[in-house]
Structure 1
Amino acid sequence: MLKWSIILLVVAIIAGVLGFGGIAAGAAEIAKILFYIFIVLFVLSLIFGRSRL
């Protein structure tokens, strides 16, 4: 999931440089959402992974 958010971030940067503002905004928004989901899942896996020890 982190890989997808990095790919979408790169797409957003390239689209922004080339002047495609709508595409850049959409890709950046999707990348941001995926990044937050990744962070939440990472923290949950840390919490529940430690409780099994």
Structure 2
Amino acid sequence: MIGWAVTFLVVAVIAALLGFGGIAGTAMEAAKIVFFVAIALFLISAVFGVMRGRSPRL
């Protein structure tokens, strides 16, 4: 998912360099949304992983 955020960021930077302000703004917003969703899913996964714990190996 972070790959998608980086892809949108690259598209936004290229569009901004070429002068396409509307496309750059839209791509930047999409990159931010995807990035924060990825961070939220990571944190949720980490919390559930800590809560579940590991059973001791015998």
Q: TM-score range by the shorter chain?
A: over 0.9
1:41 corresponds to 2:10:
no
The structure having more radius of gyration, on CA atoms, is 2
Taking structure 2 as the reference length, the TM-score comes to 0.88
Gaps of 5+ in 2: 54-58
Query: Share of identical aligned residues, percent?
Result: 53
RMSD: 0.5
- Normalising by structure 1, what TM-score? 0.96
After superposition, where does 1:5-44 map in structure 2 within 5 Å?
5-44=5-44
Large movers: runs of 4+ above 3 Å: none
* AA aligned opposite 1:19: G
